[in-house]
Amino acid sequence: MGWLGLDDTDSLDEGCTTYTLHKLLEGLPNHVQATSPRLVRLWPFAQQRTRGNAAVAVELRTDDENGLLIYLDTFWNQHVVPTIGQVSTTQHDARRQYPSDPGMVWFSSDPPTASFYTACVQHEVQLSAVPEASRSWGGQGRIGATAAVAWHEHRTTFEAIAWRSEERHGQSERRVCESTLRSIDAMDSTFLSRDPRKGTRLIAPRGPCPVLFGVRARDADSARIAGERLRFAEATESTVALRVFITNQATDDHLVDPPVKATVEHVEILSRGTTRISTNHGMWLAFEESGDVKLLAQWLKPGDEIEGYGLTTDAQVLHLEKLRLLSATPTLRRPMCVDCNVRMKSMGAGQGCRCPTCKARIVDAWDEHPRLPPYPSWVQPPADARRHLAKPLEW
């Protein structure tokens, strides 16, 4: 028995690491048994990231490890080697694309420790840091492949993935039954199937990848039941298979506890509402699509105490994923004239205040007015703008 990991077999135009694993499992020799496969999301800022930044792994059991290795060699040469070096030309993603550099690893015993997974989900990891496998194939993809094997499964969710038939790969349009999707979305255990605000689907990737849909759920049975219902709904196009993956999605494994606490020094609203908060703990960014996070950021004033979760880029900027106000500095105003009920005005530095109506004077003074925060607790981006790894606040 041992663990197989696989990553970066997808270019953006075609292919998908989950589909490659499906084909690998379909063709396994009879003497090999597979347990449920894993889909593991990794550090979102990895330099040579694949589209969804997901790697896959599966536990394989056999009494004939040599026979299995011969099969893996053959599979690698036939199905993965032809994809090496492909560069995407898709319009769906403007990010710079690296030529695909897939990797596959086999650990027949002594799988890598969970600390390697944690490193790969929270930081950039170099190929030279990858623990040595019993057997490995390929290049850069070995990082994610090994991380997927190393995952400790402390926090888990599930995703039922269905792939469309091969002649439909490459098509951007996907036919999925909307009414069945609504009923699946209403199930207690499923999550992020539809965007509650826009009513749009969140189950399907954009672009030409082989995945028709992925239904996420908090337990494996619900994922399977919901996935099968959607798969066999009349208005859903034909699929070749469905598999339930155990995943680290919606676990917040990428975030480091505790959150960062800071004092606001300056707030600047950039184009499209993206908001830059300068704090005594560096620069924080709330992006235009981050909804309530951005709105709370825009409301902040110097002196406010805040705490936030997010990922820190190479440039040491915290990209906010969750934000909370701890205390707001009050607004300061000049006092009202007790006789006229008119706000007094400053006469200049150290000159005191004077009522504009009755001209009465007092010494320099301020009244404190509490600012009512727009949100009482943590805020997060809307459903369609969250990372795969982000755990919904409602949980």
Nearer to Zn ion, 303 or 352 (CB): 352
Q: Work out whether 87 is an interface residue with Zn ion (CB under 5 A).
A: no
Stretch that binds Zn ion, among 11-19, 307-315, 320-328, 352-360 (CB under 5 A): 352-360
Nearer to Zn ion, 196 or 335 (CB): 335
Locate the DSSP E strands across 49-138: 54-61, 103-107, 135-138
Stretch that binds Zn ion, among 151-159, 198-206, 225-233, 333-341 (CB under 5 A): 333-341
Q: Is 290 helix (H, G, I), strand (E, B) or coil?
A: helix
Residue pair 102/83 in contact (Cβ under 8 Å)? The answer is yes
In which residue are the tokens 């951007």 written? 172
| Among positions 110, 339, 364, 367, the unique one binding Zn ion when judged by CB under 5 A | 339
Nearer to Zn ion, 250 or 337 (CB): 337
Nearer to Zn ion, 343 or 371 (CB): 343
| Interface size with Zn ion, residues (CB under 5 A) | 7
Q: Work out whether 345 is an interface residue with Zn ion (CB under 5 A).
A: no
In which residue are the tokens 């007015």 written? 369
Nearer to Zn ion, 221 or 339 (CB): 339
Residue pair 251/119 in contact (Cβ under 8 Å)? The answer is no
Q: Minimum distance between the CB of residue 342 and Zn ion, rounded to whole angstroms?
A: 6
Q: Minimum distance between the CB of residue 391 and Zn ion, rounded to whole angstroms?
A: 56
Q: Minimum distance between the CB of residue 292 and Zn ion, rounded to whole angstroms?
A: 42
d(CA 205, CA 60): 28
d(CA 73, CA 81): 10
Nearer to Zn ion, 119 or 360 (CB): 360
Q: Minimum distance between the CB of residue 392 and Zn ion, rounded to whole angstroms?
A: 54
d(CA 120, CA 113): 12
| Among positions 125, 277, 355, 379, the unique one binding Zn ion when judged by CB under 5 A | 355
Residue pair 310/342 in contact (Cβ under 8 Å)? The answer is no
Q: Work out whether 379 is an interface residue with Zn ion (CB under 5 A).
A: no
In the window 5-34, what residues touch Zn ion (CB under 5 A)? Answer: none
Nearer to Zn ion, 155 or 345 (CB): 345
Q: Work out whether 336 is an interface residue with Zn ion (CB under 5 A).
A: no
Q: Is 228 helix (H, G, I), strand (E, B) or coil?
A: helix
Q: Work out whether 357 is an interface residue with Zn ion (CB under 5 A).
A: yes
**Per-residue H/E/C for 323-358:** EEEEECCCEEECCECCCCCCECEECCCCCCEECCCC
Q: Is 391 helix (H, G, I), strand (E, B) or coil?
A: coil
The identity of residue 347, as a single letter, is: M
Stretch that binds Zn ion, among 19-27, 141-149, 288-296, 350-358 (CB under 5 A): 350-358
* 57, β-bridge pairs: 5, 38
What is the number of other CB atoms lying within 10 angstroms of the CB of residue 285? Answer: 19
Q: Work out whether 353 is an interface residue with Zn ion (CB under 5 A).
A: no
Token reading at 312: 């820190």
Q: Work out whether 200 is an interface residue with Zn ion (CB under 5 A).
A: no
Residue pair 226/187 in contact (Cβ under 8 Å)? The answer is yes
| Among positions 340, 354, 375, 382, the unique one binding Zn ion when judged by CB under 5 A | 340
Nearer to Zn ion, 218 or 354 (CB): 354
Q: Minimum distance between the CB of residue 330 and Zn ion, rounded to whole angstroms?
A: 24
Q: Minimum distance between the CB of residue 365 and Zn ion, rounded to whole angstroms?
A: 14
Q: Work out whether 47 is an interface residue with Zn ion (CB under 5 A).
A: no
The CA distances from residue 143 to 33, 299, 316, in Å, are 25, 41, 23
Write out the residues near Zn ion by the rule CB under 5 A: 337, 339-340, 355, 357-358, 360
